[in-house]
Amino acid sequence: MELSVIILLCTFFVLLILNVPISFSIGIATLATMLYTIDFIPAIVTVAQRMTGGINSFALLAIPFFIFSGLIMGQGGIAKRLIECAMALIGMLPGGLSLVNVLSCTLFGGISGSAVAATSAIGSFMIPEMENKGYDRNFAAAVTATAATTGMIIPPSNILIIYAIASGGVSISALFIAGYLPGILLALALMSVCVYTAKKNNFPTEPALPCRVIIKTVAQAIPSLLLIFIVIGGIVGGLFTATEAGVIAVVYSLFLSVFIYKEVKVSELPDLLLKAAGITAIVMFLIAASSAMSWILSYENIPETITEIMLGLSENPLIILLIINIILIIVGAFMDMTPAVLIFTPIFLPVAESIDVSPIHFGIMMVLNLSIGLCSPPVGSVLFVSCSVAKTSIEKIIRPMMPLYLAMIIVLMLVTFIPTISEWLPRTMGLMK
């Protein structure tokens, strides 16, 4: 058993060092381990079966729908109206444009469920705008990268759907509702850093707008914001499942973008569909490969072994949760969220449950933790997108990003050690006991 685990880990990390795509690294490492364990043909068949079984889930159908709706929103003028709404409401505060950036990313991420989409859609407008108004470009890129991660916590979030499947059937509705308070807390923490930085560097503020202009701007954004209430309200109210909510999100975003805002032409839809299919294929292959690796880890009793080891280190739940967080922060810096959730949920969830941490609380903690990895070198996808949009380098935005990192870690610690933050809303709404 020990040699098979060594083969799995060594093969995986060697392939990562050789810059092999993570999905292939996971798949090849799993196959190599199976070849050591059993004969050639049974090994290939077993891996193929586990990969197929990993994506054979009705709940996963929500992912391509939310991906497609997110692409439509990014191109359909929804991001623009959310930015204008945020500008009208808080643009006059200290560091106004940086606050607008955070709020816009939070709103767009909460609608699209994609941190990368939020970074691209919001950053392509806000980063040049902030630079033109006297903000440092690297600070603008850092704000965009960190604020975009709020979309991983605030529903509808694809990664919460994946966690629900990896955990063995945690309620998606409860997870969605549980993400609101931590997501809002994260946004407020980032805004606090923006205000402090703006005052320290004398960044400009925007002039206050007349009330009639504010009302008009907010009214124009209401149709976009309604998507949140339609999707989440329908799921929580039992009107439709998360998968059906994805379909409704596509239909509603199409209606807004094509017929109301008229910024997406019917002739552009095939290209958007093709792009959504490409992203979906990447995500599904990651899920399939990660599911196979999760199975081999379970087959080798790794979760049980790690549970025994961690409980042997300390009986203090706070210490155990701190150790899990440290490991996940390191994992998030090198691994994409999807495989990290699929691989490490079966490993750490039993540990968390053994110290009376609910799967809902642990899921929010885990996703919030791994969200930090999205804007962390060397693998952070959101970090790379933000640098690309800002036309800068990772080395230049690390310094202005450090206070924002600190704010994210403080929020992570609060969510980790105060379960009420993630559990109060779903308990109040009767979604968890």
- Full 3-state SS string of 11-65: HHHHHHHCCCCHHHHHHHHHHHHHHHHCCHHHHHHHHHHHHHHHCCCHHHHHHHH
Structure confidence at residue 379 (pLDDT): 67
Q: Is residue 33 located within the same domain as residue 74?
A: no
Domain assignment present for 330:
yes
Rounded CA separation 53/70 (Å): 27
Q: Is residue 96 located within the same domain as residue 224?
A: yes
Domain assignment present for 15:
yes
Structure tokens at 272: 């958007």
Of 64-78, 92-106, 323-337, give the lowest mean pLDDT range: 64-78
- Which tens digit of pLDDT belongs to each residue from 406-430? 999 999 999 999 999 999 999 988 8
Domain assignment present for 76:
yes
Q: Is residue 73 located within the same domain as residue 173?
A: yes
Domain assignment present for 433:
no
pLDDT value at 381 more than 80 = no
Residue 343, phi then psi, degrees to nearest 5: -85, -40
Domain assignment present for 177:
yes
- Which tens digit of pLDDT belongs to each residue from 308-341? 787 777 778 899 999 999 888 888 887 778 888 8
pLDDT value at 255 more than 70 = yes
Biggest distance spanned by C-alpha atoms of the chain: 74
Domain assignment present for 406:
yes
Structure confidence at residue 187 (pLDDT): 92
Structure confidence at residue 423 (pLDDT): 92
Q: Is residue 64 located within the same domain as residue 44?
A: no
Domain assignment present for 241:
yes
Q: Is residue 205 located within the same domain as residue 75?
A: yes
Q: Is the separation of the CB atoms in 431 and 391 below 8 Å?
A: no
Q: Is residue 130 located within the same domain as residue 23?
A: no
Q: Is residue 73 located within the same domain as residue 24?
A: no
Range among 84-93, 232-241, 365-374, 375-384 rated most confident: 365-374
Q: Is residue 269 located within the same domain as residue 255?
A: yes
Q: Is residue 292 located within the same domain as residue 412?
A: yes
Number of folded domains that form the chain: 2
Domain final residue, candidates 39, 54, 69:
54
Q: Is the separation of the CB atoms in 347 and 302 below 8 Å?
A: yes
Q: Is residue 42 located within the same domain as residue 109?
A: no
Q: Is residue 40 located within the same domain as residue 59?
A: no
Residue 353, Cβ density class (10 Å: 0-12 exposed, 13-18 middle, ≥19 buried): middle
Domain assignment present for 383:
yes
Structural domain boundaries, residue 8: 1-54
Rounded CA separation 266/414 (Å): 46
Q: Is residue 33 located within the same domain as residue 64?
A: no
Structure confidence at residue 188 (pLDDT): 93
Structure confidence at residue 280 (pLDDT): 85
